[in-house]
Structure 1
Amino acid sequence: MGKINGCLKCLFIFFNVLFAIAGCLLIFGAVKSTAYSHQLSAVGTPSLGWGWVFAIGVLGISCLGIYAGCSEKELALKIFAGFMGVGMVIMLIFGIIMAVTRNKIKHSFDSASSEISKPFMEEEGLRALLEELQKSVQCCGVVGASDWGDQIPQSCECRSGYRGPFGMSECKSKPQGSSGPDQIYKQTCSGFIFAWFDLIFQIAMGFFFAFAVTAFMGLLVSLLMIHQVRRHDMSGGASIAMKGY
């Protein structure tokens, strides 16, 4: 008979296997995101290095949990419980960092600062994405048509009376001294761009806070398993002593 309740042990190992798989998927996602890490950090998002640390941490701690559950060793369970306690605090910190970073980026977009448009203008890939966005949502520039300098692209062209997928497009004349279409979209793209970032940050915040709750539950379960192991060892030791007597 094992030291730990069979159902509790199976449930503990099962969830650690799921998180180990999640850790592998996070590592795969980090590998795929490496190509875009420079562009994302340019607009104020956290470094991708933290993503690697988190993904490897999830995989490593999950493997430790699987070993601790299978071996039923008190030391391994104590180490796992310690990681759960630390992980819970770290997840809460990451969730708060995501919230603060989101508010910081929102303030940059709301203030229509020219600084927020520099990464899009300097990176060729982001410039291409911005042009595609301008065509699809009928907007021009991140904070204004002036982001393009004196050469406004054709993707900013606005045709009077044209009704796109987001409603009737409002047009205005191009800035004086600039080349390009005579009529351009009045609306800027900052609101649409921030909507993307806002969705990403909301998902990230939910992800981190959910992991914090999960780590708390893992801490409680591991403490319960430690209690069961200790009780089994103490009752076993007493039984041996009585037989020897």
Structure 2
Amino acid sequence: MAKGSAFMRRLCIVLNILLGFLGVVLLLVGIVASTFKIEPLISGYYWQDGTQSVLFSIGFGLATILLSILGVYGAYQEHVLALLLYSIFMTIEFIALLALTIIAILAQPQVEKKIEESFANMTSLYNTDQVFRRELNKLQQEAECCGLIHYTDWRDQIPSSCDCPQNYSDKQARCAKVIVNAQNYRSSEVNKNAGTDPMTVQSPVHYVHKMNCSPILMSHVKNTLRILFGIVFTLATIMLASVIVALLLWNNINTRSSVTGISHDDDRMKYELQPHKMA
């Protein structure tokens, strides 16, 4: 029983060190996120809803760090009360984490729909926000896409980051023809509907990427969510394992203490009976 108790004590300490590390990561992520106000490319507005995520990260990070310290102390000192309190509070945190994760998974389709709807604000935001303009231009150049929904979303303000390279392979299939109209680019499809003038027809012809950027953005969002959910489920698994080991260690210590107490009582009784036997 002593060997089993020693093994569970070491295992409990190792698991809580891992929990403490993950708690520090969550805390740092929350602190760093709270110090920056970033205009996210996928939302079209300042990430006000992110405040809840920041508080969630900081709160769970602090709670995990404190509980891991309590777990290490209880396991190292074999303190019954510390292990019991650790098991209770860690179970509460585990249930809360699991419940919030399930809610987030169920709400994921609505979040993705909200993000897609925010793409309609792209043009106005592009003209007013420098961060958004820089990030979107970078995305369009690197991913070889134009517009979040369609390249015609730009109307007569297609940016140069949508341009196909001059020596682009398969240009006819992957690029769309546009015409430079004075200072801006105008789609040839728009010109057909609105009517063209001789000056526009004689303008230089350019090619822009046909593919829109929304599938690329949504794939990034989904991959990020998968990573976050993976981290959360890893944390939850370690929490559950820590609680089970702590309870087993707590039970082992109680059992060992009760057996030791009985042995001391038997020895005392035998010692007290010795004088009578000698007499």
Q: Which TM bucket (shorter chain)?
A: 0.7 to 0.9
Matches within 5 A, 1:1-245: 5-36=5-36, 38-40=38-40, 42=47, 47-108=53-114, 114=120, 123-145=129-151, 148=154, 150-158=156-164, 162-163=168-169, 169-173=174-178, 179-180=184-185, 182-245=206-269
Instruction: Identify if the C-alpha distance between structure 1 residues 56 and 107 changes in structure 2 by more than 3 Å, giving closer, same or farther.
Output: same
Between 43-52 and 89-98, the greater mean CA deviation after superposition: 43-52
Instruction: Kindly state the Cα deviation for residue 213 of structure 1 after the two structures are TM-superposed.
Output: 2.2
User: d(CA) in 1 for partners of 2:69 and 2:162?
Assistant: 52
Paired letter, 2:148? V
Paired letter, 1:17? I
Percent identity over the alignment is 22
8 Å contact 1:171–1:185 — kept in the other structure?
yes
Residue 180 of structure 1: SS of its match in structure 2?
strand
Point out where structure 2 has 5 or more consecutive residues left out of the alignment.
Answer: 41-45, 187-205, 270-279
User: d(CA) in 2 for partners of 1:61 and 1:122?
Assistant: 46
The TM-score with structure 2 as length reference comes to 0.72
| Number of residues of Structure 1 aligned to a counterpart in Structure 2 | 243
Point out where structure 1 has 5 or more consecutive residues left out of the alignment.
Answer: none
8 Å contact 2:94–2:236 — kept in the other structure?
yes
Instruction: Identify if the C-alpha distance between structure 1 residues 23 and 226 changes in structure 2 by more than 3 Å, giving closer, same or farther.
Output: same
User: d(CA) in 1 for partners of 2:49 and 2:151?
Assistant: 22
User: d(CA) in 1 for partners of 2:179 and 2:66?
Assistant: 56
Residue 200 of structure 1: SS of its match in structure 2?
helix
Between 170-179 and 205-214, the greater mean CA deviation after superposition: 170-179
Instruction: Kindly state the Cα deviation for residue 210 of structure 1 after the two structures are TM-superposed.
Output: 2.2
Instruction: Identify if the C-alpha distance between structure 1 residues 111 and 21 changes in structure 2 by more than 3 Å, giving closer, same or farther.
Output: closer
User: d(CA) in 1 for partners of 2:127 and 2:55?
Assistant: 25
Between 23-32 and 175-184, the greater mean CA deviation after superposition: 175-184
Instruction: Identify if the C-alpha distance between structure 1 residues 175 and 23 changes in structure 2 by more than 3 Å, giving closer, same or farther.
Output: farther
Report the RMSD for the aligned CA atoms in angstroms. Answer: 3.5
Instruction: Kindly state the Cα deviation for residue 24 of structure 1 after the two structures are TM-superposed.
Output: 2.2
Instruction: Identify if the C-alpha distance between structure 1 residues 10 and 185 changes in structure 2 by more than 3 Å, giving closer, same or farther.
Output: same
The TM-score with structure 1 as length reference comes to 0.81
Instruction: Kindly state the Cα deviation for residue 212 of structure 1 after the two structures are TM-superposed.
Output: 2.1
Query: Could you say which structure has the larger radius of gyration?
Result: 2
Residue-by-residue CA offset, 1:96-153 (whole Å, 9 max, x unaligned): 2332343223334566852588777764323211110100111122223465575322
Between 205-214 and 195-204, the greater mean CA deviation after superposition: 205-214
Residue 171 of structure 1: SS of its match in structure 2?
strand
Paired letter, 2:178? S
Paired letter, 1:197? V
